[in-house]
Amino acid sequence: MDIVKKHIIFYGQSVRDALIKLDQIAPSSILFLVNEEIELLGSLTDGDLRRGFIKGLGLESKLLDFVQPSPVFIKSNEYSISELEQFKKDFFKIIPIVDDSKKIVDILDFNIKQSLIPADAVLMAGGEGKRLRPLTETTPKPLLKVGEKPIVEYNIDRLARYGIKNINLSINYLGDQLVDYFGDGSSKDINIKYAKESKPLGTIGSILLIDEFHNDDIIVMNSDLLTNIDFADFFKTYKESNADMAVAATSYHVDVPYAVLEVGEGIEVKSLKEKPRYTYYSNAGIYIMKKKILNMIPKDQFYDITDLMDRILEMNLKLITYPINGYWLDIGKHEDFKKAQEDIKHIQL
């Protein structure tokens, strides 16, 4: 059932209708009273009905007499991730999303979605996966199964769980299999579109094949990753930093088994570190960028995302990094694929 239809009740319906519908949707028992234009008039719970009956209202009374007239709502495209986090802290579970006329256009159910990120997403899924042959001879790497699902489906489901409804797949090698598998995304209550390369365009060049983006920010990621990255915190960090682009990074530690001498000019020793550990951060293949950044990518040319990052730095635009503190695995080789099969038994993505 469509989530909006699930949680609305019309002004002219009866108290009995409301009781039946609240019983049907339990335990998420809240309804939003609307007029014929689906404009929000109030909210209604079992408790509101019970309090109304105590006051002397009955089954023949108007629903408007029972409702909370000023319910919490989210205005479409006029909210921040911090505001959503506060709703969670205040134990709001189901919140209507309205347009300028207070028409309900969607409903955020925190039992289903972690957040509501106002961004489009692009998954790069066109590679041949040569290092994983023979597994990829007849199956594109993103569709190789880890546990019970293809690799790319974990990423699509995670993006959807953070409220991203418009997801684009950049496809090339055996790309028709991806189209056949996911279709238009309606089975997941999202919109999936496809950009098919006619020739290799690098790790970001194919993004220009996408006809339309609905938001000013775009999440781009490789489709062959397994990760439990917190997309909401990533997006919040990017927005609060007022960055033009953010790149997620995974830490890489190097342990030196010997004492390390730090030498100044010439041969003078400045300090001594006993068996130090050095931490480096590597590109994790997940990015957020402003839509206007796409104007810096040359059309119909092979262009890697590292070229774009170099260009951003040359232009003195703001590029930030976001460390992934959770799980991340790039499935590039057979040993990575084997590790993924074991890891998936113990982690939640």
DSSP one-letter string for 39-59: BEEEEEEHHHHHHHHHTT--T
120-343: CATH architecture: Alpha-Beta Complex (3.90)
Largest pairwise CA distance in the chain: 94
CB atoms within 10 A of CB 13: 16
pTM for the full model?
0.86
Class of domain 3-109: alpha beta
Q: Do 226 and 344 meet the contact criterion of CB atoms below 8 Å apart?
A: yes
What is d(CA 100, CA 98) in angstroms, rounded to the nearest whole number?
7
> Which class for 222: exposed (0-12), middle (13-18), buried (19 or more C-beta within 10 A)?
buried
Sketch the domain layout of the chain as residue ranges: 3-109, 120-343
- Helix, strand, coil tally for the chain in percent (to 5): 30, 30, 40
- Per-residue pLDDT tens listing for the chain (349 residues): 488 888 999 988 999 999 999 998 887 789 999 999 999 999 999 999 999 999 999 988 899 999 999 999 999 878 889 899 999 888 888 999 999 999 999 999 998 888 999 999 999 998 888 898 998 889 999 999 999 999 999 999 999 999 999 999 999 989 899 999 999 999 998 999 999 988 889 999 999 999 999 999 999 999 999 999 999 999 999 999 999 999 999 987 777 788 888 887 777 777 888 887 777 788 999 999 999 999 999 999 999 999 999 999 999 999 999 999 899 999 989 999 999 999 998 888 8
Which segments within 197-297 are labelled E, that is strand? 217-222, 225-227, 245-255, 260-263, 269-273, 277-290
